[in-house]
Amino acid sequence: MKKKTRGILQELSSVGRKNHNEEWLSTTGQNIIESSINLLSKIHEIYDEDTAIDLERRFINSIRSANPKKYKVGIDKIVESKK
């Protein structure tokens, strides 16, 4: 039983590595975009307009520059200001 389980788990973990084709890229891209839209909507629900716009700008710039720290700095500023 363990050999079958291990084989299945290995197969499942390798699926993503084997299928780096257009369909995988399309599906993954759509999922990321939908998640980003949901995140930005939630940001606008939770924060005031100025803060939400700042976080949205930081989020987009973080993606553009491939630097997630830019977004984290914005979140950290908000947390710090609430203390």
pLDDT digits (tens, 9 = 90+) for 20-67: 678 878 888 999 999 999 999 999 999 999 999 999 999 999 999 999
Rounded CA-CA distance 23/29 in Å is 10
Buried b (16+ CB within 10 A) or exposed e, 39-65: eeeebeeeeeeebbebbbebbeebeee
pTM score, two decimals? 0.68
Distance CA 58, CA 34 (A): 18
Cα separation of 15 and 13, whole Å? Answer: 6
